[in-house]
């Protein structure tokens, strides 16, 4: 019998004790949630309605965590994963779920977060699906550990539930075909140069046009509709180009509703929203904390002949002090990092009092936290629209629209 880890808490289950339980729901992390005599147990790769056998590996103060051993009663929404590494590689969480069911659960999870975190009951529009379900990612970042006995072993992604263990990933079915075509040679090059690596590293693999770029400082181009965006390969840009026209189109529709004439893009990056929305507004102002990203946004405006957009390199909080747009005719688009907005920014947004706010988030949990603050400031929630930019994973983008 395996010896439990030193910090293992032996109640309510023993180390590697196998239990049978019914799965009731999926968490926003993509794990199955079941209860054993009222005690919550999280098990990955399960579906609601299934009865499973699970092996416990950790007991926390109010829940336990277990690995899936066997599905005893299968849910009708269960699908056969397309990737042989699913369940071992931590990159995907939902390949065992039909795509229609993935969208339904992502829709439900946004609504549940709003209820549980903010006490808000509001209809959530059905999650907008990706037009391409496989081979959609334009960038991946495989990792590898330092050489062992002169050899580099696994080149891939973290294993499920592990903080350091890597899974070797020769091919990735959610990465673009051009990326998968390039991976064998890239992996072989790394292994040939094993002696040059004193520590582990992360490899950038970005598809741009008809080739692959691995230099994070190289300039790459992505096209959204009629707008071409140049940016550094290592900088952030949405990694599912197939859905971006619909995604930015929805943001444009919500921002320009009600006759707003001016747009503020408060976390503009290299200009994705500011420039795709510029044709709908008299003037656009973007702000970005990264000076290089703000410079790229300005260059992209010039490259595309967009003359009604200006960009400022500063924290998002600083933009309202230099904005002279009439607030009652202005829409503000927010697309903050995963950690969400600062309280300072939300306070200044409220003081500026724009007619409309379109809040785009890659983390609905921090977005819902900010939703509560927005409501305190007198903003009214008008629309909630999730977008599935990352099929087969737990990740989603959510667009919330507010009015004064």
Given 3.30.750.24, 3.40.50.150, 3.40.50.1000, 3.90.950.10, which CATH number is that of 103-132+238-403? 3.40.50.150
- Residue 362, pLDDT score: 96
Residue among 398, 400, 404, 392 nearest 93 (CA): 392
267 is in an annotated binding site: yes
- Residue 77, pLDDT score: 95
Rounded mean pLDDT of 146-158?
95
> How far is Cα 301 from Cα 234, in angstroms, rounded to an integer?
20
Per annotation, catalytic residue among 46, 92, 341, 362: 362
Q: What size, in residues, is the chain?
A: 404
**Confidence category of residue 215, pLDDT binned at 50, 70, 90:** very high
Q: What is the pTM of this model?
A: 0.92
- Residue 360, pLDDT score: 98
Whole-number Cα distances in Å, 302 to 185, 227, 281, 289, 296: 37, 11, 17, 20, 10
- Residue 249, pLDDT score: 98
pLDDT in tens, 123-140: 999 999 999 999 999 999
- Residue 248, pLDDT score: 98
Q: 177 in helix, strand or coil?
A: helix
Reply yes or no on whether the pLDDT at 3 is more than 90. no
pLDDT in tens, 328-374: 999 999 999 999 999 999 999 999 999 999 999 999 999 999 999 99
- Residue 1, pLDDT score: 57
Whole-number Cα distances in Å, 122 to 110, 114, 118, 399: 10, 8, 11, 14
Q: What is the mean pLDDT of the chain?
A: 95
Neighbours of 18 (CB within 10 A): 14
pLDDT in tens, 31-81: 999 999 999 999 999 999 999 999 999 999 999 999 999 999 999 999 999
Under 8 Å between Cβ of 271 and 229: yes
- Residue 293, pLDDT score: 87
Whole-number Cα distances in Å, 354 to 156, 252, 266, 377: 45, 16, 12, 12
**Confidence category of residue 313, pLDDT binned at 50, 70, 90:** confident
Whole-number Cα distances in Å, 350 to 256, 330, 364: 19, 13, 21
> How far is Cα 277 from Cα 281, in angstroms, rounded to an integer?
7
User: For 62-135, where are the E strands, in sequence order?
Assistant: 63-73
User: Tokens 């990933």 appear where?
Assistant: 169
All CATH 2.40.50.140 domain ranges in the chain, comma separated: 1-78
> How far is Cα 271 from Cα 345, in angstroms, rounded to an integer?
20
Pairing between β-strand 309-313 and β-strand 283-288 as defined by DSSP bridges: parallel
pLDDT in tens, 167-203: 999 999 999 999 999 999 999 999 999 999 989 999 9
226 is in an annotated binding site: no
All CATH 3.40.50.150 domain ranges in the chain, comma separated: 103-132+238-403
> How far is Cα 297 from Cα 270, in angstroms, rounded to an integer?
4
**Confidence category of residue 316, pLDDT binned at 50, 70, 90:** confident
- Residue 383, pLDDT score: 98
The alpha-carbon radius of gyration of the chain (Å, integer) is 23
Q: What values do phi and psi take at 166, rounded to 5?
A: -100, 150
The sign of the CA dihedral 233, 237, 238, 242 is: negative
Q: In what order do the strands lie in the sheet with 166-168?
A: 166-168, 155-158, 143-144, 201-202
Residue among 401, 386, 393 nearest 112 (CA): 386
Any idea which fold 1-78 has? OB fold (Dihydrolipoamide Acetyltransferase, E2P) (2.40.50)
Reply yes or no on whether the pLDDT at 384 is more than 60. yes
- Residue 29, pLDDT score: 82
109 is in an annotated binding site: no
- Residue 132, pLDDT score: 98
Reply yes or no on whether the pLDDT at 318 is more than 80. no
238 is in an annotated binding site: yes
Sequence-distant (≥ 6) Cβ neighbours of residue 32 within 8 angstroms: 23, 25, 26, 42, 43, 44, 45, 46, 47, 48, 50, 52, 68
Reply yes or no on whether the pLDDT at 261 is more than 80. yes
Reply yes or no on whether the pLDDT at 208 is more than 90. yes
Q: Is 89 a catalytic residue?
A: no
pLDDT in tens, 225-252: 999 999 999 999 999 999 999 999 999 9
Under 8 Å between Cβ of 213 and 176: no
Q: Is the peptide bond between 12 and the residue preceding it cis, with omega within 30 degrees of 0?
A: yes
Q: 228: alpha, beta or left, given left = phi > 0 and alpha = psi -120 to 50?
A: beta
């Amino acid at each position: 019998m395996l010896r439990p880890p030193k910090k293992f808490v032996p109640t309510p289950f023993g180390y590697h004790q196998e239990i049978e339980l019914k799965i009731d729901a999926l968490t926003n992390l993509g794990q199955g949630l079941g209860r054993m005599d009222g005690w919550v147990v999280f098990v990955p790769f399960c579906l609601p309605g299934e009865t499973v056998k699970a092996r416990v590996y950790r007991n926390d103060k109010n829940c336990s965590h277990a690995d899936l051993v066997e599905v005893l009663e299968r849910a009708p929404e269960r699908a056969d994963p397309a990737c042989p590494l699913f369940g071992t590689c931590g990159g995907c969480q939902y390949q065992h779920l039909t795509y229609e069911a993935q969208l339904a659960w992502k829709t439900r999870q946004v609504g549940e977060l709003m209820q549980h975190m903010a006490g808000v009951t509001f209809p959530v529009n059905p999650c907008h699906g990706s037009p391409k379900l496989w081979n959609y990612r334009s960038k991946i970042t495989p990792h590898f550990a330092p050489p062992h006995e002169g050899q580099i072993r696994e080149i891939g992604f973290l294993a499920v539930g592990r903080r350091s263990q890597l899974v070797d990933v020769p091919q990735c079915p959610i990465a673009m075909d051009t990326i998968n075509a390039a991976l064998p040679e890239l992996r072989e090059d790394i292994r040939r140069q094993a002696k040059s690596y004193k520590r582990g590293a992360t490899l950038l693999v970005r598809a741009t046009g008809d080739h692959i770029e691995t230099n994070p400082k190289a300039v790459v181009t992505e096209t959204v509709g009629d707008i071409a965006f140049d940016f550094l390969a290592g900088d952030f840009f949405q990694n599912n180009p197939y859905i971006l026209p619909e995604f930015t189109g929805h943001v444009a529709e919500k921002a320009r509703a009600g006759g707003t004439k001016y747009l503020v893009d408060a976390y503009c990056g290299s200009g994705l929203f500011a420039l795709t929305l510029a044709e709908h507004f008299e003037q656009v102002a973007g702000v970005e904390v990264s000076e290089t990203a703000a410079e790229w946004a300005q260059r992209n405006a010039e490259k595309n002949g967009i003359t009604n957009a200006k960009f400022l390199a500063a924290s998002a909080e600083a933009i309202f002090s230099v904005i002279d747009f009439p607030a009652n005719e202005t829409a503000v688009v927010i697309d903050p990092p995963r950690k969400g907005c600062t309280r300072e920014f939300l306070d200044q947004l409220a003081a500026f009092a724009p007619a409309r706010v379109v809040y785009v988030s890659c983390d609905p949990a921090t977005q819902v936290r900010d939703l509560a603050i927005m409501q305190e400031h007198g903003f009214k929630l008008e629309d909630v629209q999730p977008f599935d930019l990352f099929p087969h994973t737990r990740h989603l983008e959510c667009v919330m629209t507010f009015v004064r």
